[in-house]
Amino acid sequence: MEFRQIVYFLEISDSGTFQKAASRLGLTQPALSKQIYLLEKELGVTVLERGGRAVRLTHEGEKFYQYSIRMKELWEEIHQSFSKENDLKGNYSISAGGTVSAWILPQILKDILQRRSGLSLSVREGDAQETKESLLRGEVDLGILTGPVSEPSLNVLEFLSDRICPVASKDHPIFLKKKIRIEDLKKQSFVLFHSGSALRKAVEKKIKSFEKEIRPKIAMELRSVESVTKSLEAGLGIGFLSEYSLTPKLRKIKFEEWNTERKFYICYRKRSGPALALLAEEILRSSKKWESERPSFV
């Protein structure tokens, strides 16, 4: 069996006739028919049903069509992998949550794009469920998800570790306390992310494990990291933010029991070719540089 016979078979299947396929392939119809005859002889089955104007797949042809698609994809992957032009070019899309989209990816992607002139990247912000669904549907190429990630159709690479901590504006009255206790926090108004947020869920799980009966007084429930950050900077309450998204106007509240950890993972669909693996490696490499250079706020 020759690979060109696979290509010929797929073209006939997609075109519907030997004549159209021969024209697209730049062959004569007899030459094309001979190659399919040799293919069927080697397989020992008939894959195309001749007769009338159109050509149809036989039952065996339907099965062979699926194998042929996979062989063609594998050949393209091999070709791309060994190509001298495999320099991570083209357009790719990434989906991530608010913290990653606003505070982590911009500088990382800037660093990559400065080194990869033929590369174009776009970012779509979405919560954890939106990111996962768009990735599985093939609407985006890469997704950055909060772990753990258990999805057999995805490649999963550990990206960054993150700490979520209680914070408030630097001039918030809570910092007048020499030692902050749970009773002090219960009296405060809270600025929180919306209930569907992965960060909100992680915080609530942590607090309930420490203090099951606490019912915080919620002053605001917001969707974007920027909205939460600005509200906290304005002194409208205390809240929870990733250490990555702290600003000079905010200060961490020293109440270790409410700190929680999470991990981010870079995910992409399996059998999606070497380019996405290369892009994921680039992001991981640039993230290490970014972490070593970024300022930290206490």
Beta pairing class for 154-169 and 238-242: antiparallel
* Domain stops at, among 53, 82, 111: 82
On the question of pLDDT at 87 being above 80, the answer is: no
pLDDT in tens, 278-294: 899 999 999 988 887 77
Nearest-CA neighbor of 173 among 227, 242, 251, 248?
Answer: 251
Q: Please report the pLDDT score of residue 77 as a whole number.
A: 72
What integer is the mean pLDDT of 83-108? 82
208 occurs within a structural domain: yes
298 occurs within a structural domain: no
Specify whether 182 is located in the same domain as 151: no
Specify whether 140 is located in the same domain as 185: no
Q: Where are the alpha helices (DSSP H) in the chain?
A: 3-15, 18-25, 29-43, 59-82, 98-99, 105-115, 128-136, 182-186, 198-210, 225-233, 274-293
Q: Please report the pLDDT score of residue 251 as a whole number.
A: 94
On the question of pLDDT at 156 being above 50, the answer is: yes
Q: Please report the pLDDT score of residue 84 as a whole number.
A: 47
Specify whether 54 is located in the same domain as 18: yes
pLDDT in tens, 205-245: 888 877 766 777 899 999 888 999 999 999 999 999 999 88
Q: Are 225 and 103 in contact (CB under 8 A)?
A: yes
Hey, is 203 helix, strand or coil?
helix
122 occurs within a structural domain: yes
Length of the chain (residues): 298
Q: Please report the pLDDT score of residue 80 as a whole number.
A: 65
Nearest-CA neighbor of 241 among 257, 260, 254, 256?
Answer: 260
pLDDT band at 82 (very low <50, low <70, confident <90, very high): low
**Containing domain of residue 64, as a range?**
3-82
Q: Which two tokens stand for residue 200?
A: 């909100």
Q: Are 236 and 209 in contact (CB under 8 A)?
A: no
Specify whether 137 is located in the same domain as 68: no
Residues 177, 261: Cα–Cα separation, whole Å:
26
CA dihedral 229, 223, 141, 68 (to 10 degrees): 160
CA torsion through residues 255, 203, 172, 174, sign = negative
What integer is the mean pLDDT of 262-268? 93
Residue 237: phi and psi, rounded to 5, are 155, -175
**What residues are paired with 158 via a beta bridge?**
265
Residue 147: phi and psi, rounded to 5, are -75, 170
Specify whether 135 is located in the same domain as 278: yes
Tally the domains of the chain: 3
Specify whether 170 is located in the same domain as 254: yes
Specify whether 240 is located in the same domain as 183: yes
CATH code of 208's domain: 3.40.190.10
Residue 167: phi and psi, rounded to 5, are -140, 165
Mean of the per-residue pLDDT values for the chain? 87
Specify whether 235 is located in the same domain as 273: no
Specify whether 68 is located in the same domain as 204: no
Specify whether 127 is located in the same domain as 101: yes
pLDDT band at 85 (very low <50, low <70, confident <90, very high): very low
**What residues are paired with 32 via a beta bridge?**
none
Higher-confidence position of 147 and 84: 147
Specify whether 28 is located in the same domain as 156: no
